[in-house]
Amino acid sequence: MDIINEIYNTEGRLNRKRYFKYYLILVLVSTAISFVIGFIIGLLTGKAESTLLDVTTGIVSLITGVGGWMLGIRRLHDLDKSGWFMLLILVPFVNLIFLLYLWFMPGTVGYNRFGADPLES
């Protein structure tokens, strides 16, 4: 369960490689869970569309979204920025530039106000 603690945590810093790795794991696991739940509900109800499927997919999406948000906060900490900058995700078009910034900007070298450099440990 160490990976869950790594994803659902806002303390400390997260370098680019670990950010991308955890984000990819989060997306793949949530996609697999949604697929399996959809398949099971389809078998049980006999319908591909149902309210139960919508609710369960919504819950999985909410859990995934919270994890992605927390990863973004830790990535911003590596860039020596406040987690409040994650609100830029809500602004259309700005969110695309912001995601590129999170993925490709190198973090602060050495210690910053959010902790030690994750590349040094």
Give the residues across from 115 on adjacent strands: 112
Token reading at 94: 């700005």
pTM (predicted TM-score):
0.86
Backbone angles phi, psi at 10, to 5 degrees: -115, 5
Q: What is the pLDDT of residues 34-77, one digit of tens each?
A: 889 888 888 887 776 778 888 888 899 999 999 999 999 999 99
Quote the CA–CA distance of 70 and 94 in Å, as a whole number. Answer: 19
Q: What is the pLDDT of residues 96-121, one digit of tens each?
A: 999 999 999 998 888 888 888 888 76
Q: What is the pLDDT of residues 1-34, one digit of tens each?
A: 588 888 899 998 999 999 999 999 999 999 999 8
Cβ burial of 72 (10 Å; 0-12, 13-18, 19+) is: buried
Amino acid in position 85: F
Torsion of CA 20, 22, 26, 28, to 10 degrees: 60
Q: What is the pLDDT of residues 76-92, one digit of tens each?
A: 999 999 999 999 999 99
Quote the CA–CA distance of 6 and 8 in Å, as a whole number. Answer: 6
Q: What is the pLDDT of residue 53?
A: 80
